[in-house]
Amino acid sequence: MSKIALITGANGGLGTAMCQKLAQEGFVVLANGLSEEKLVQWQSNQKSEGFDFSIYPADVGSFEACEAMVAKITSEVGVIDVLVNNAGITKDGVFKKMSKEQWSAVMRTNLDSIFNVTRQVINPMIEQNYGRIINISSVNGEKGQFGQTNYATAKAGMHGFTMSLAQETASCGITVNTISPGYIGTDMVLSIDEKIRQNIISTIPIKRLGKPTEIADIVAFLAKEESGFITGANISANGGLNMHY
């Protein structure tokens, strides 16, 4: 029987690549997004490319919304085997001028969300003695970034979540891992002014942006049964921008 995978923030550039890759690998893919209207349009676009994804709009910043979403999925499809916590936003600004709204909005969507969604799926995973949880962080959660104290804090928090939950669930057939992408060629990054984008690329040792499919390939690997000996890990995929061990 095919494994069921839920991807949050599915209709973005990275999320789309993840959905398509997991579908190609034989997973039943469920797509979450905040806006039902945008998600429906995305679903239609994906159908034109040959992908048929079930959609589950919900605000992952709301515990109650996540509870309702997962209850509906369980009723309609079954127990979620793979969760990809991919939803995220930015509200950049230097800290001395950062508003409480900028801080709270990023924390709510980028960090609270991984509790809100994972809390709904963890007990069924424990009961079935199997699960894969994949958290999408960022290179800036590893090294920090000027003007992103909120974003970097939230993304760094994912690492602590990953390592702690991995220890709690390792004996239950569940793995919990993080992927930390660098600068990826999504529509958002490609819309940056050409000069600024080239300055960014000049700092990357590989001298190019990453491809969404390159991150999706890592997600697919960690989602498989064969990756069961990897847990509590962070996989950095940043073209050498931040090298460490």
Helix 113-128 to helix 149-169 angle (10° resolution) is 10
Give the pLDDT confidence of 10-41 residue by residue, as tens digits: 999 999 999 999 999 999 999 999 999 999 99
- What mean pLDDT is predicted for residues 155-174? 98
Q: Is the model's pTM score more than 0.75?
A: yes
Mean pLDDT score across all residues of the chain:
96
Model pLDDT, residue 193: 86
Listed by start position, the domains of the chain span 4-236
Q: What span, in angstroms and rounded, lies between the C-alpha atoms of 41 and 213?
A: 21
Model pLDDT, residue 236: 97
- What mean pLDDT is predicted for residues 86-101? 95
Give the pLDDT confidence of 196-229 residue by residue, as tens digits: 889 999 999 999 999 999 999 999 999 999 999 9
**Which residues form the catalytic set?**
151
Model pLDDT, residue 245: 83
Q: What span, in angstroms and rounded, lies between the C-alpha atoms of 25 and 31?
A: 16
Question: Residue 191: is its pLDDT beyond 80?
Answer: no
Question: Residue 151: is its pLDDT beyond 80?
Answer: yes
Model pLDDT, residue 205: 96
Which is nearest to 129 in space by CA: 234, 27, 225? Answer: 225
Model pLDDT, residue 187: 82
DSSP per position, 56-96: ----TT-HHHHHHHHHHHHHHT----EEEE---------GG
Architecture of domain 4-236: 3-Layer(aba) Sandwich (3.40)
Question: Residue 54: is its pLDDT beyond 80?
Answer: yes
User: Residue with structure tokens 């936003």?
Assistant: 89
Cα angle, residue 109 at apex, residues 56 and 47 outer, rounded to 5°: 30
